[in-house]
Structure 1
Amino acid sequence: MKKINCLRIAFVFLIGLSTQAQTKVWTLEECVKYAIKNNISIKQSELDTISASIDKRGAFGNFLPTASLNANHSWNIGLNQDITTGLLRNQTTQFSGVGANVGVDIYKGMQNQNTLRKANLSIVASKYQLLKMQEDIALNVANAFLQVLFNKENLKVQKEQLVINEKQFKRSEELVKAGSIPRGDLLDVKATVASNKQNVITAENALLISKLSLAQLLQLKEFWDFDVIDDTNAKDENNIMSIKPIDIYAKAKESRTELKIAQTNLEIAEKDVAISKGAYQPTLTGFYNFNTRASYSDIVVGSTPNLENPTSVVGFVEGTNQNVLRPNSLPVLGNAAPIMDQFSDNKGHSFGAQLSIPVFNGFSVRNNVERSKVALEKTKIALEKEDLDLQRNVYTAFTDAKGALNAHESSIVALESREEAYNYAKEKYAVGLMNSFDFNQSQTLLTNAQSEVLRTKYDYIFKIKILEFYFGIPIIKS
């Protein structure tokens, strides 16, 4: 028995901890900010912005000189010409060389300048794309948030209806005992109670799924204790419905991110055309080269008479045919000069400019220009399409919001009528003037009217948010 009591105490303690953990509820502003900070798609878009910045550094690097160092060391083994004697002999020689090269583009058909301008535009486009991603995420979060609120209120309606029907079941039992209604009516009410319990379970599942969807959109890992605050009312706080659709459209053209993206893409395409056309023009490049070398072979340091072959005939005197003799000598070899001295003595420099004029390249430049022009026309069409889509979306959003407001107001009127009809039916059923089937029908119509009020309420709220979105009013205030 003591063991059972301890288990009960522990269970109550854990329930208390769980209740404390669930006290945190999220507002719409908190949900949107958290999603923007943690959403995977936004993180990917942020990486695209970083990549665009790297591309800009690469474009700026085209203006800087290129410099490189080189070094080599080689062995020549076998039959080689002796550079000291000019004779062929089997030997192994070694050579070392070092050098440096510097080059700079002086003129390249304005391609470097246009590439840098394109890189700057790409950064702007990536930032607009990131902003567009954040706006889309905010709108999706708002929709999911409102869906949670709808399911929470719908669950309340179903629970309240279940309580009413359970009371009605007890009341019907008393009426059956008193003989006021037949037992068949009691069975109808009992079936209605069972159906209401099923509706409560369905509403609980819908609420759980909507919370899970919102938590996943926020990239929450611990979503089992996730809940949102339910203090949203259906009202036009910014009086957006009083503004004409044409004025909303004019404001949207100034602020909507998708138009800015399309406009920036058009400017990027124009730079692509300029870059491709630059390949038609000559290029002028400046260069500077430095090199030096060293050899590890013996060198000639002097000469000595050739005692075996002292002289050699190099000609004869005309008329007398007397031979002209030249003394023969042999080179005296010594060690190679110190390496650093050779590097210093053998160094050389070269510099100048190289002009390259394109004459014929198999139509590659021409084809690139034509492709870039086609891409430019596509971006122009895309910009026009974005403008038309924006105009259609604004007018559609205004019409949807107006229709949602009318539907919500009509559902409220319908609910008031259903409540009066239900109260009247309840009075008739209590005195036996209405059977259980007709009474249950009245209850069902009332429940449907309550659900319709909730549905139209949150549909109106979301459509107002969309209309405000086009007008430049953010989902949350920064």
Structure 2
Amino acid sequence: MRLAWKEIRVVVTLLLATGVSVNAQNSGTPARTESSAVSPGAGNSRQARLNLQQCIDIAQQNNIQIRQGQLTVANSNLQVRQARLNQLPSAIFQANQALNGGRSINPQDNTFVQQTINSSSYQLNTSATVYNGMVLRNTVRQNELALQAGQQELTATKNNVSLTIAQNYLNVLTGTEQLAVAERQADVTRAQLDRTQKLVNAGSVPEANLFELRATLASNELDIINAQNTLDLAKVSLLQAMNVPIDQQFDVEPINVPDPGLNPYEANVQQLFDVASTNLPEIKGADLRVQSANLGVQVAKGGLYPTLSLNGNLSSVFSSAAQNVIRTGQSVQQTIGFITDPTTGAQIPINASVPGTDVTGIKYFTQLGNNFNQSLSLFLRVPIFQGNLSRNRITTAKIQQQNAELTAMNTRLTLRQQIETAYTNMRAGANRYRATQAQVASLERAFQVAESRLNAGAINATDYSIAKSNLDRARASLVQSKYDYVFRTKILDFYQNKPLSFN
């Protein structure tokens, strides 16, 4: 059975509603609930038995697209946190330690000195944006919407993985039931062959009937082989969808699906679309991308507005060249100049009495306290011309906005087409199931008559084989049409956001 991609979305919840439990037969121990514990392992001496939820858990753990989606959500969450932090004031502390030799500048009085100077400087700067055209706030909201969109898209990816698993799971169930039908058909032929053998031995029927039944049995055995091959391929597809090596031995839990009713479906296409367009994560994600793109335009427009910021600064310095000059209270003789003797031309010093002083270095923390400086300023930045950069950013943001809107429109269009297809397939499935039911009922009566007539010798084995082959094909078709119709009706229930069950 092949179901359309989006049509089978409902199957996940549908099959889980049966509440079947799993009996993993690994060395006789009960199965664990973790998906990693129920993965069928190579080399298991006993065959594992998996239900749909375990298959989905294994697939979602192994799927690369889901992992990529999780990383995308994590990155979007980080961008939201950073955008929120960007609204807070920034603070930077700087420290500098220097050792200068030779002719240097004394940081205390900016004079040149000929000595080695050890200096330190400390600075604390802080800045807060007062106004910038709402860029920071709109950026936060834009990133929050992008995060929500990423979460919805991750959910959609998980749904798609679950859909793939569900579709392959259903193929395994259908293949299993069709194999059982083929085996039952072979059993009926064997029983008839035994009866015919006895009648041939008794001389009641010709031996040709025996040859015809043996040919029919060979055909039934070929049907069994074909059904087994189909089932094996379905299991391979299921393992590949779970990203598990195909050298695994496992069975799937059967689901008791009751025979469906044939009453007309109560909702039309428009009603299905109205409900589905508000529930599916693809639609929600597309709408959130549109809202995020709208805010992206506002962020780009913020580049046209002035930026006003408040800046603060604290600083201090230390220099080993800084000194304190202290008067001692005593006078000393000091040469203050020279005069030239007019006769001899010799330089005669001129001495004067000056107050005595004592020079001492200034302590480290004393200098830091004396040189402590504070400043507060407002900074205004007005964009006048930047090569049309802001205008181009606005245009780019508007293009992205239009693209997001078109994506949302296309998502809704795709959804509507999927619902229309699902609804049409449901009606076709109902007609096919109704016709197959009637066909099987008629062929069962025809086969019973043919079997009775064969036992009575009224018909040959060829006519019997034809009647049996027709019934066998009809029963196999009934199995497929039953699953097809049931799940197509449940798919439409899913679009209506109805609780799904088999009751």
Task: State the AA in 2 paired with 1:369.
Answer: I
Matched residue SS, 2:277: helix
Q: 2:84 aligns with which of 52, 60, 67?
A: 60
Following the alignment from structure 1 to structure 2, what is the Cα–Cα distance between the partners of residues 384 and 56?
Answer: 27
Following the alignment from structure 2 to structure 1, what is the Cα–Cα distance between the partners of residues 205 and 356?
Answer: 141
Q: Which segment drifts farther, 206-215 or 417-426?
A: 206-215
| Displacement after TM superposition at 1:331 (Å) | 11
Following the alignment from structure 1 to structure 2, what is the Cα–Cα distance between the partners of residues 254 and 355?
Answer: 46
Matched residue SS, 1:361: coil
Task: State the AA in 1 paired with 2:428.
Answer: G
| Displacement after TM superposition at 1:465 (Å) | 2.2
Q: 1:104 aligns with which of 112, 128, 140?
A: 128
In structure 2, the CA distance between the partners of 1:35 and 1:23, relative to structure 1 (3 Å rule), is: closer
Matched residue SS, 1:358: coil
| Displacement after TM superposition at 1:146 (Å) | 2.8
The residue aligned with 2:139 is 115
Q: How does 1:36-75 map to 2 (within 5 A)?
A: 40=63, 45-75=69-99
Residue 442 (1) aligns with residue 467 (2)? yes
Following the alignment from structure 1 to structure 2, what is the Cα–Cα distance between the partners of residues 457 and 139?
Answer: 19
In structure 2, the CA distance between the partners of 1:474 and 1:93, relative to structure 1 (3 Å rule), is: farther
Task: State the AA in 2 paired with 1:190.
Answer: R
Q: 1:381 aligns with which of 406, 410, 426?
A: 406
The residue aligned with 1:397 is 422
In structure 2, the CA distance between the partners of 1:87 and 1:214, relative to structure 1 (3 Å rule), is: closer
Task: State the AA in 1 paired with 2:367.
Answer: Q
Residue 268 (1) aligns with residue 292 (2)? yes
In structure 2, the CA distance between the partners of 1:194 and 1:310, relative to structure 1 (3 Å rule), is: same
Q: Which segment drifts farther, 181-190 or 211-220?
A: 211-220
Q: How does 1:452-467 map to 2 (within 5 A)?
A: 452-467=477-492
Q: Which segment drifts farther, 92-101 or 202-211?
A: 202-211
Tell me if the contact between 1:38 and 1:219 (Cα under 8 Å) persists in the aligned partners: no
| Displacement after TM superposition at 1:20 (Å) | 8.7
| Displacement after TM superposition at 1:183 (Å) | 5.0
Following the alignment from structure 1 to structure 2, what is the Cα–Cα distance between the partners of residues 109 and 182?
Answer: 100
Q: How does 1:1-400 map to 2 (within 5 A)?
A: 30=53, 34=57, 40=63, 45-80=69-104, 86=111, 89=114, 91-178=115-202, 186-211=210-235, 213-214=237-238, 224-235=249-260, 241-297=265-321, 299=323, 301=325, 310-311=336-337, 334=359, 336-400=361-425
Tell me if the contact between 1:300 and 1:332 (Cα under 8 Å) persists in the aligned partners: no
Task: State the AA in 1 paired with 2:135.
Answer: Q
Residue 426 (1) aligns with residue 461 (2)? no
Following the alignment from structure 1 to structure 2, what is the Cα–Cα distance between the partners of residues 223 and 105?
Answer: 62
Matched residue SS, 1:120: helix
Following the alignment from structure 1 to structure 2, what is the Cα–Cα distance between the partners of residues 467 and 411?
Answer: 22
**Deviation readout 1:343-400 (Å, 9 max, x if unpaired):** 1111111210111111222222222111111111112222222222222222221111
In structure 2, the CA distance between the partners of 1:289 and 1:415, relative to structure 1 (3 Å rule), is: same
Matched residue SS, 2:195: helix
**Deviation readout 1:310-330 (Å, 9 max, x if unpaired):** 4158xxxxxxxxxxx896999
Tell me if the contact between 2:60 and 2:158 (Cα under 8 Å) persists in the aligned partners: no
In structure 2, the CA distance between the partners of 1:19 and 1:414, relative to structure 1 (3 Å rule), is: farther
| Displacement after TM superposition at 1:454 (Å) | 0.6
| Displacement after TM superposition at 1:73 (Å) | 0.7
In structure 2, the CA distance between the partners of 1:190 and 1:345, relative to structure 1 (3 Å rule), is: same
With normalisation by structure 2, the TM-score equals 0.76
Task: State the AA in 1 paired with 2:269.
Answer: P
Following the alignment from structure 1 to structure 2, what is the Cα–Cα distance between the partners of residues 331 and 173?
Answer: 144
Tell me if the contact between 1:138 and 1:475 (Cα under 8 Å) persists in the aligned partners: no
Matched residue SS, 2:79: helix
Tell me if the contact between 1:311 and 1:328 (Cα under 8 Å) persists in the aligned partners: no
In structure 2, the CA distance between the partners of 1:312 and 1:443, relative to structure 1 (3 Å rule), is: farther
Task: State the AA in 1 paired with 2:91.
Answer: A
| Displacement after TM superposition at 1:75 (Å) | 1.9
Matched residue SS, 1:231: coil
In structure 2, the CA distance between the partners of 1:474 and 1:284, relative to structure 1 (3 Å rule), is: farther
Matched residue SS, 2:130: strand
Following the alignment from structure 1 to structure 2, what is the Cα–Cα distance between the partners of residues 240 and 33?
Answer: 32
Q: Which segment drifts farther, 41-50 or 144-153?
A: 41-50
| Displacement after TM superposition at 1:180 (Å) | 5.7
Tell me if the contact between 1:211 and 1:227 (Cα under 8 Å) persists in the aligned partners: no
| Displacement after TM superposition at 1:402 (Å) | 0.8
Tell me which protein shows more helix as a share of its residues: 1
Following the alignment from structure 1 to structure 2, what is the Cα–Cα distance between the partners of residues 133 and 419?
Answer: 46
Following the alignment from structure 2 to structure 1, what is the Cα–Cα distance between the partners of residues 105 and 86?
Answer: 45
In structure 2, the CA distance between the partners of 1:147 and 1:236, relative to structure 1 (3 Å rule), is: farther
Q: What is the root-mean-square deviation of aligned Cα atoms in Å?
A: 4.0
Task: State the AA in 2 paired with 1:118.
Answer: Q
| Displacement after TM superposition at 1:49 (Å) | 3.9
Tell me if the contact between 1:312 and 1:328 (Cα under 8 Å) persists in the aligned partners: no
**Deviation readout 1:224-250 (Å, 9 max, x if unpaired):** 44431331124269x781222222222
**Deviation readout 1:160-209 (Å, 9 max, x if unpaired):** 01111222333343444455666565444334333433432443344355
Q: Which segment drifts farther, 169-178 or 219-228?
A: 219-228
In structure 2, the CA distance between the partners of 1:101 and 1:81, relative to structure 1 (3 Å rule), is: closer
**Deviation readout 1:93-132 (Å, 9 max, x if unpaired):** 2211111111000011110111122123223323322443
User: Which sections of structure 1, spanning at least 5 residues, go unmatched?
Assistant: 1-14, 314-324
Following the alignment from structure 1 to structure 2, what is the Cα–Cα distance between the partners of residues 374 and 93?
Answer: 61
Matched residue SS, 1:242: coil
Following the alignment from structure 1 to structure 2, what is the Cα–Cα distance between the partners of residues 436 and 16?
Answer: 48
Following the alignment from structure 2 to structure 1, what is the Cα–Cα distance between the partners of residues 351 and 392?
Answer: 71
Task: State the AA in 2 paired with 1:287.
Answer: N
Tell me if the contact between 1:145 and 1:214 (Cα under 8 Å) persists in the aligned partners: yes
In structure 2, the CA distance between the partners of 1:19 and 1:453, relative to structure 1 (3 Å rule), is: farther
Percentage identity across paired residues of the two chains: 25
In structure 2, the CA distance between the partners of 1:420 and 1:476, relative to structure 1 (3 Å rule), is: closer
